[in-house]
Amino acid sequence: MKKGDSFVINGKKTFVLNGGSADFYIVLCQTDPNASIPINGTSLILVDAKTDGLSTADQGTKLGTNMMSMTDLKFENVKVPLTNLIGEEGKGYDNVQKFFTESRILYAAQAIGTAQGAYERALEYIKGREQFNRPIAAFQSVRHKIADMCIKIESAKLLTYESAQRFDNGKLDPKFSALTKIAATNAAMEVTNEAVQLLGGYGYMTEYEIEHFYRDAKVLQIREGNFTVLKDIIANTTIGKLK
């Protein structure tokens, strides 16, 4: 809410990556509580991490990506100058969606790297692991698993390259961004899971990197919009309004 020459912010945000080490936060706030559609009354506001009334709390250990902390942010009568408004008032949600359209490509690229890392280590393992006096890479079932992993990775790469090129040309749209993220993060989850299977017991041990890739892959399907949100974007854009 506005009060004089300031915004006064109250509320809580969970699951903020590296929130405890940030100097500033860009906060999506409800600045017009009377908006007929709530999201049309939202704005982006820049908040200094040292502002009175703003506190952080670590959320503890995650399944993966443990190089990054997960933080709770709590706002209690946090006063911020009106000049800290980012963009146009009431356009906060729209600006966030534009950001997500772009940032989902970064998550797709991260997913490809995760899948590629697991794939390369699985490939190395099957060439060196022997059963019945020959490498398990000689068995057709294993070879087909590697082929499937390769198909998924290369398909995701092509979509991600296309999305990146569209972004460079100013033609990246929410639909293509959404389907790229789904394809790439699905590939990461499926490839890392198959890599664990190929390594057997070794794939489950923390001494090996495969389980690390597997754990890190899951969150990529969740961040920047889960599949329900992304499929809605694709369907709404493809089908359009019904009569």
pLDDT at 147 over 80: yes
Contact 52, 79 (CB under 8 A): yes
pLDDT digits (tens, 9 = 90+) for 35-84: 999 989 999 999 999 999 999 888 777 777 777 788 899 999 999 999 99
In eight-state DSSP terms, residue 64 is S
Residue 141 has a pLDDT of 95
C-alpha–C-alpha distance, residues 40 and 62, integer Å: 34
Does residue 51 sit in helix, strand or coil? coil
Packing angle between helix 210-220 and helix 174-199, nearest 10 degrees?
160
Q: Name the percent of the chain in helix, strand, coil, to the closest 5.
A: 55, 20, 25
C-alpha–C-alpha distance, residues 99 and 141, integer Å: 43
Which residue in 130, 162, 209, 224 is the catalytic one?
224
Partner residues linked to 13 by β-bridges:
73
pLDDT digits (tens, 9 = 90+) for 115-141: 999 999 999 999 999 899 999 999 999
Other beta carbons within 10 Å of 175: 16
- 144 membership: H or E segment, kind and range: helix 140-168
In eight-state DSSP terms, residue 87 is S
Known catalytic residue at 162: no
Q: Which domains does the chain have, with CATH numbers?
A: 2-86 (2.40.110.10), 94-239 (1.20.140.10)
Residue 234 has a pLDDT of 95
49 Cβ partners below 8 Å, 6+ apart? Answer: 22, 23, 24, 25, 56
Partner residues linked to 2 by β-bridges:
7
Other beta carbons within 10 Å of 1: 12
pLDDT digits (tens, 9 = 90+) for 159-192: 999 999 999 999 999 999 999 999 999 999 999 9
